[in-house]
A and B are shown apart, each in its own frame.
Chain A
Amino acid sequence: MYDIKALYEAQSVADAVRLRLEHPQAQIIAGGTDVLVQMREGKRAGAELISIYGLDELRGVSLDGEENIRIGSLTSFSHITKDPVIQRYINVLGEAVDQVGGPQIRNAGTIGGNTCNGVTSADSASTLFAWDAVIELTGSQGVRRLPIQDFYLSAGKVDLRPDELQTAILIPRDSYESCFGHYIKYAMRNAMDIATTGCSVNVVLSGDRRTIRRARIAYGVAGPIPMRCPSAEAAAKGKPLTDGTVEAFAAAVLEDIRPRDSWRASKAFREHIAVELARRCLREACELAGGAME
């Protein structure tokens, strides 16, 4: 038995919004892989829960009218990995979420839950940051969309208003078009563990595949919230595919990130890992895009 005071099961998105307003103190539960563990640990003992798990309309991946990729917030990690739209346009996201927990956790855990936790170690976050994902929130006033950078406010805190729930994550068309990416998770112990550092890089190459037209990079756990590295991105933009470009890109990462010392890893070690991950991810992304290093 969980120490649950009351369970309110939403029958629709509108019903969930109503329940949010009616029970402001209640916690939303989606796949349960985080909330139920926290309840077991006694952190949310005696909580009231609003369950949105039954809202099948929030499951699945599709292309919307403007050909943006629309990922329903309740889509499980395993369904994201297996989805043909994801595999075709943003395969790296499927690969990244395939590294969350173990297989059963990936069947239960949802991308929306993963992003609403506001945990920097979330495996999905760095890739979503690196691809300029847009978060769709539905509340009593209607739908609001905001860039994922603005959705994450501070460690453990996201911009979710008291009447809102996250209903989708969008990857805009101009973000995924001709874009190829790679993700590496560095952890002391693989799987069944939260990512120590996750690095996601993606590139768009020029028509002749000799120049980097656009490079984007984001880290999880490099700072208090997932973050992009504008200096590194600028260092690679418009540059030829050479070792020198890769080195300049990787070195510039240190101008952007602020790793911290913790019992998991020292600052110096995190910096070393961050540079190495940037280097490897960029090389791999360029290769996936069909570019050959000179």
Chain B
Amino acid sequence: MSTQYKRIRCVVNGKSVERMVDVRASLTDLLRNDFRLTSVKKGCEVGECGACNVIIDGECFNSCLYLAAWADGKEIRTLEGLLGPGGELSDIQQAFIDEAAIQCGFCTPGFIMTAVEILESGRAYTDEELRKLLSGHLCRCTGYENILRAVKKTMMKRLEASRGQGGAV
């Protein structure tokens, strides 16, 4: 049987793109192979570890359990999209380094994209809530405490900053 393709248009890290995708491809395949966005990791590939996590239309999804064909019309963000124009790290990435929340780094992009969704909600969360929000990720190295601390610290800083600007908290 010949391979079935579908033309999709979507926005990846702010850029409009168009591709012919193999309908058998997962979104992980599409992002890694077609766009070289290798922050998107292939871990378990069955939705258990969160290493492949990306943001689609503002919500986190494990891209290993998402058909590339479904990306049509969607806005997708990966870790690469967080970098500043000169390749500067974002605050949450820097916090992971400062708090030693990263060792081998395999789980890190997935965790950070979940952290981005958490931070962009603009809300303050308790430690217990943060643990639950981060529970869709496995890390074999750090023991999670440092990761929690990095997310919490960035959350505090951003809330502080928006308060400083008179923003609603």
Contacts and interface: CB of A to CB of B under 8 A. Distances in A.
A41 B26 CA distance: 15
Contacts of A101: 47, 136
A5 B1 contact: yes
Given A37-B65, A51-B69, A107 B22 contact: no
Given A40-B46, A101-B136, A7 B4 contact: yes
Contacts of B135: 102-103, 191-192
B100 interface: no
A122 B135 CA distance: 19
A174 interface: no
A1 B25 contact: yes
A54 B136 contact: no
Given A6-B4, A9-B69, A40-B45, A104 B114 contact: yes
Interface in A1-57: 1-7, 9, 29, 32-33, 36-37, 40-41, 51, 53-54
A202 interface: no
Interface stretch (B53-61, B76-84, B91-99, B150-158): B53-61
A26 to B, nearest CB: 13
B125 interface: no
B61 A104 contact: yes
Nearest to A54: B70
A1 B1 contact: no
Contacts, number: 84
Contacts of B24: 1-4, 7
A78 B117 CA distance: 13
B22 A1 contact: yes
B66 interface: yes
B50 interface: yes
Given A7-B4, A7-B67, A37-B65, A105 B47 contact: yes
B62 A1 contact: no
Contacts of A3: 24
Contacts of A54: 70
Contacts of B48: 192
B72 to A, nearest CB: 8
A40 B44 CA distance: 10
A108 interface: yes
Nearest to A107: B59
Contacts of B66: 32, 108
A40 B137 CA distance: 19
B77 to A, nearest CB: 14
Interface of B: 1, 4, 6, 22-26, 29, 45-48, 50, 53, 59-62, 65-67, 69-70, 114, 132-133, 135-137
Which 5 residue pairs across A and B have the least CB separation, nearest first? A102-B136, A7-B23, A1-B24, A107-B59, A103-B136
5 contacts: A1-B29, A6-B4, A37-B46, A40-B45, A41-B46
Given A102-B136, A191-B132, 12 more contacts: A2-B24, A2-B26, A4-B24, A5-B1, A40-B45, A40-B46, A53-B67, A103-B114, A103-B135, A103-B136, A104-B136, A107-B60
